[in-house]
Structure 1
Amino acid sequence: MSDFAFERDGAAASSAPRRPRASLGSAEAEEIFASFDPKILRRFFAFLKPHKTYLVLAQIAVLTSAATAMSIPYMIGRAVDAAAKRDPSRLDQLLMVFAGLVVLNAGAFFLEQWMSARLAQKVIFDVRRAMFSHFQDVSLSFMDKTHVGRIMARLQGDVNALQEFLESTTGALGDLVLLVGIAIVLLATDLQLGLLTLTVIPMLIAVRAIWLPFSKKTFRQARDASSSANSALAENIQGIRTVQETRREAMNFDLYEEKARENMQAQVGSAKLTQVMVPTVDVLTGFAMAIVIVVGGNAVLGGRLDVGVMVAFIFYVQRFFDPVRMLSMQYTIMQRAMAAGHRIFEVLDVPVTIKDKPGAAPLGRDMEPTVEFRNVTFGYDPKRPVLHDISFKVRPHEVVALVGPTGSGKTSIMSLTHRFYDVDRGQVLVGGQDVRDVELDSLGRVIGMVLQEPFLFTGTIEENIRYNTSASLEEIIEAAKAVSAHDFIMRLPEGYQTRLGQRGRNISLGQRQLVSFARALVADPKILILDEATANIDSFTEQAIQKALKVLFAGRTCMVIAHRLATIRDADRIIVLQQGRIIEEGPHDELMAQDGLYARLYRSAHASFDDATVAATGDAEFAMRT
């Protein structure tokens, strides 16, 4: 298979070893149906507390609608009796009351729907906000092990399931009240006829008991097939460049067609099973009405029953099975909502491990801009350390470069400096304070980072450079000029007001990097971290940036990662890493004079550290890993 392929579960196929996923992707979490869970319901209804006024008004409207719906057939029956007895004054009174009930029923139904919709939207707004807030604080260690795109897509559907449940919950109460109320009215009006009419209920329960297990299995298959087809479609769109490059359009179409066909067959099966209950209820309704007509008709002919009562019975029977249909649907909605609630609260329960501890102190702008590692050992998996007993100190306004082959721990050092992760052993100090003892917000204001893969947000170039600052346009332009971004920005049709597409894809990768440079610099951090920041910039642009960086580095403490050794030879100090350990340290000339690993690598290849690692060191393990 080529780079792009579909897996049976819709995930990307890959020959590379997979990282273990978080429990959010477990088979239990993927269930579309779940049994009633009071704990989930209690947590969910906690979101209702701020909006209890809407809930109360909706319930009042529901009860009013149910009461008027039960009264209307009774009034019709009384009106029929009045007409049969030729009592026009009584008939007129009943018609006026009937009209009032119809208007009240319509108004209550409208208020019920309106209040339910507003309540659902407000609660779902709070749920979305809680999820977004929590995801922004979730530690990167969790994100490293989780397929975020798939989880977010799934949670979007789960939120919609909760919304559907909320909108139908108030109606479910009305349907239940209507169902019980009609049964009571039928029995109270004529016990014998009422009991005969309600004999269809055991048959309905039996049909439902047989239908439910099949429906669960079929609906689960339909959802799995839909998820697989959607995942395949999204993956194909995201990888369209690779698809067209390798000319796999025809093969991918065949693979997608297979998944789409499986989805179609599963959806047809679920729709077919769904429709089984509709004619079943209709048949039972007809059977109940036949009982009323035959038994009730004989009672009317025998003089035991008024014709109006029989007419009312017919209307009540029709009304009786409407809530039966709705409650059957709402039961399925409730099951989906329970499963959705499990998944949503599972996400909200993900612990935030990187957070301010009680009494954390802010880093002041007047603090000494130093970075120090003291005997740091760290691994994304604690059983497999990436860094081993690392110790070094970056003094104020010093430019320190980190070099080493891929996997030597350079980026991990940068991440620990910003406290994206916590160390397993040892200490990381910024400004002389352990990063675990300072406020994260102040740490973010002191440290600026430019990464190898720049991330630009949808918006104008000006907005992207100003990101998280209050810089003026003049300051933005000054920063852009400093990193040689101003000229290409001014060549764009709308200059700094040019809107960027998703991740800034309407400008080149090198231009995106320059914008991210300007964004970091306009924030004026005391400590600047560059992680392969010049890797995606052409040699001509890099020359201009090197000149700008000398000016920009002045007055700042800087840590730089670069594979191109030529780009960091002017650093005050170079730290050479290999397999998570520091093996050499010093300025460029001193390291060259030592004639160690750095010198051999530099002489072997000026362009790239990785390119020469195997040749210079004979590191067979590194060769296998790369």
Structure 2
Amino acid sequence: MKRIISYLKPYLPKMTIGLLIKFTGTIMDLLIPWILAHMIDKVVPQKDIKLIIYWGLAMVFCAALAIVANITANRMATRVAAETTRKVRHDLFEKITYLSCGQIDNYTVPSLVSRLTSDTYHVHRMIGMMQRLGVRAPILLLGGIIVTISIDPVLSLVLLGIQPFIFLTVFYVSKKGIPLYNKLQQSVDQMVRALRENITGVRIIKALAKTDYEKDRFASVSSEVVKREKKVGMTMALTNPVMNLYLNYGLTGVILMGAYRVNAGLSQPGVVIAFLTYFTIILNAMLSISRIFVLASKGLASFNRIIEVIDTPEDLTIEDIPPTPSAYHIEFKNVTFSYHKNQANLRNISFSLKKGETLGIIGPTGSGKSSILKLLLRFYDTDEGEICINGRNVKSIPRKELHKMFGIVFQNDILFADSIAENIDFGRGLPLEKIMFSTDLAQAGEFIDTLEARWNHRLTNKGSNLSGGQKQRILISRALAANPEILVLDDSSSALDYKTDAQLRNSLNQHFEDTTTVIVAQRISSIMHARHIIVLEDGEIIGSGSHQELMKNCKSYQEISISQMGGASLD
């Protein structure tokens, strides 16, 4: 609750004005039945038409003021709810962007998507409803009770007698509801995951005729959501019928007792009519309060899920490790790493690169090639050993400074639904000349010139309107555009033909001779000209050296070379 208040604090002046306006409108609603009772019991018996018109106009004025005040307050509440939710959503999105890869793995992407969308929507509804009904309903409830006590204390005893039952019901349902909503949101996370997987893999699902299988899998996840929704719905649905039961019993009691008291001359007809009106107002107020508790239960459960992410402590903190003089640009010193901390994915990885040198990494799938790059970029921290750049441990380099050193093409990289130029620039404000130069180096200029809009050609999401080779060349252009200190290419030429791949290597050698390059590849032709090559298997280096040295000393490398090139040593 303190965190919600902290988000609402900047809007307290606006909320205070809105609540005062809402309070005024609610008081006007409470005055109308009192005026009606006064007219029936006091004004009408006088048979003075002017007094009747006067009090009638007073009722019209109260009704008009109530409508205007409630509409104005509701509009202000909506703006506050929208602004507050925007701030919560922004903070959550910002936090997600700074989560480490390990933390994202723990939360899972579908869960984070769900928190950023449906959970923030529930928070929005809760904040808006609390301002609209959270003030009006309690005032109508308490004001109605106070007025009824003032006009007939005896009849009020019926109303007061059912209040404990009402509050116990609301308390019980709310206590049960919040945990159920938490479980429901977890099921929604699972459904979002299944949906994302199906949308992302729709081509392979169709190609392998697995549509029915995926339908069954989604139906299973969806059924779990429905099951939990039913449980939550059935629990929360108790509120309205039980409230109606209590208050209708009370209304019946008021009518019976009111008829007896009027017949005995202890009360007046106008009082009973006003009392019935107030009872209806109190009934609606109690139903509104029950709705508030339902939405508050859902909103608080969602807000807690959001705050769980926002309050996640940073696990990749900057450590005060003094730099040491080094002749090497990049150093891995006996690095061991495990994703799940139960079995090492990398063991005792050591290599050193001087500035401008190229390292090639090759090995079977799952051998740990991409893991080395993730550690170099400090997406994860090592379990043992250290990684240094220019003699500085990567744990001591601020994240923004570290990542600015790199130009990167990942194995499954992303192109956005924007122009080619914007995809290459990536918000860095690069001049068009640099963008054009980088596309020429990446061998992308040739196909871009064939497009009608050239660099303004708009890509679809994930670059699906380009071929695989064209996408890779655009991604390489992005990595080269800012003239990086370290270039990382993770299987980035797999879709390129051998000629284009060779032209790309020549461009890098000519224009990026001072850039240290790390290339992960499946093809020996992509790395055989690197000064240093390491061969990985099961997370360990089983061979290192130049192409010629590995052809003599590393059986695994020889086998790869024979399978790809017949063992030839290309120049």
Q: State the one-letter code of the partner of 1:54.
A: K
Determine if the alignment matches structure 1 residue 461 to structure 2 residue 420.
Answer: yes
Which of these residues, 466, 490, 496, is aligned with residue 507 of structure 1? 466
Determine if the alignment matches structure 1 residue 94 to structure 2 residue 59.
Answer: no
% identical equivalent positions? 26
Q: State the one-letter code of the partner of 1:564.
A: R
- Check whether the contact 1:564–1:607 (CA below 8 A) recurs between aligned residues: no
Name the structure 2 match of 1:129.
Answer: 90
- Check whether the contact 2:424–2:477 (CA below 8 A) recurs between aligned residues: yes
- Check whether the contact 1:565–1:608 (CA below 8 A) recurs between aligned residues: no
Which of these residues, 415, 429, 434, is aligned with residue 475 of structure 1? 434
Name the structure 2 match of 1:178.
Answer: 140
Name the structure 1 match of 2:269.
Answer: 307
Determine if the alignment matches structure 1 residue 54 to structure 2 residue 18.
Answer: no
Name the structure 1 match of 2:485.
Answer: 526
Q: State the one-letter code of the partner of 1:239.
A: G
- Give the 5 Å matches for 1:353-364: 353-357=315-319
Q: Bigger shift: 369-378 or 45-54? A: 369-378
- Give the 5 Å matches for 1:88-487: 88-170=49-131, 171-201=133-163, 204=166, 232-253=194-215, 277-278=239-240, 280-282=242-244, 284-357=246-319, 370-487=329-446
Say which SS state the counterpart of residue 454 (structure 1) adopts: coil
Change (3 A) 1:53 1:83: same
Q: Bigger shift: 511-520 or 202-211? A: 202-211
Change (3 A) 1:133 1:547: same
Change (3 A) 1:528 1:277: closer
Whole-Å separation in 2 of the counterparts to 1:565 and 1:399: 14
Whole-Å separation in 1 of the counterparts to 2:265 and 2:462: 81
Whole-Å separation in 2 of the counterparts to 1:172 and 1:334: 10
Say which SS state the counterpart of residue 375 (structure 1) adopts: strand
- Check whether the contact 1:416–1:422 (CA below 8 A) recurs between aligned residues: yes
Whole-Å separation in 2 of the counterparts to 1:467 and 1:350: 28
- Structure 1 position 199, deviation (Å): 3.9
Whole-Å separation in 2 of the counterparts to 1:360 and 1:51: 46
Change (3 A) 1:347 1:397: same
CA displacement, residues 433-482 of structure 1 (integer Å, 9 cap, x when unaligned): 22222222222222211122221122111100011422222221221111
CA displacement, residues 43-68 of structure 1 (integer Å, 9 cap, x when unaligned): 22111112211221232223223222
Q: State the one-letter code of the partner of 2:111.
A: R
Determine if the alignment matches structure 1 residue 537 to structure 2 residue 491.
Answer: no
Say which SS state the counterpart of residue 500 (structure 1) adopts: coil
- Structure 1 position 589, deviation (Å): 2.7
**What TM-score, normalized to structure 1?**
0.81
Gaps in structure 2 of 5+ consecutive residues = none
CA displacement, residues 382-406 of structure 1 (integer Å, 9 cap, x when unaligned): 4533333333221121122223333
- Structure 1 position 200, deviation (Å): 4.2
Name the structure 1 match of 2:530.
Answer: 571
CA displacement, residues 234-282 of structure 1 (integer Å, 9 cap, x when unaligned): 5433332233122233454466567667767876787677666545544
Change (3 A) 1:152 1:103: same
CA displacement, residues 296-328 of structure 1 (integer Å, 9 cap, x when unaligned): 344334443233222211211110100110111
Say which SS state the counterpart of residue 392 (structure 1) adopts: strand
Q: Bigger shift: 386-395 or 474-483? A: 386-395
**What TM-score, normalized to structure 2?**
0.88
- Check whether the contact 1:369–1:527 (CA below 8 A) recurs between aligned residues: no
Change (3 A) 1:173 1:351: same
- Structure 1 position 96, deviation (Å): 3.0
Gaps in structure 1 of 5+ consecutive residues = 1-40, 362-366, 610-626
- Structure 1 position 493, deviation (Å): 4.4
Change (3 A) 1:387 1:161: same
Q: Bigger shift: 284-293 or 346-355? A: 284-293
Whole-Å separation in 2 of the counterparts to 1:388 and 1:568: 23
Change (3 A) 1:264 1:191: same
CA displacement, residues 564-589 of structure 1 (integer Å, 9 cap, x when unaligned): 11222211222333444444433223
Q: Bigger shift: 403-412 or 521-530? A: 403-412
Change (3 A) 1:256 1:453: closer
Change (3 A) 1:600 1:298: closer
- Structure 1 position 161, deviation (Å): 1.6
Whole-Å separation in 2 of the counterparts to 1:253 and 1:569: 46
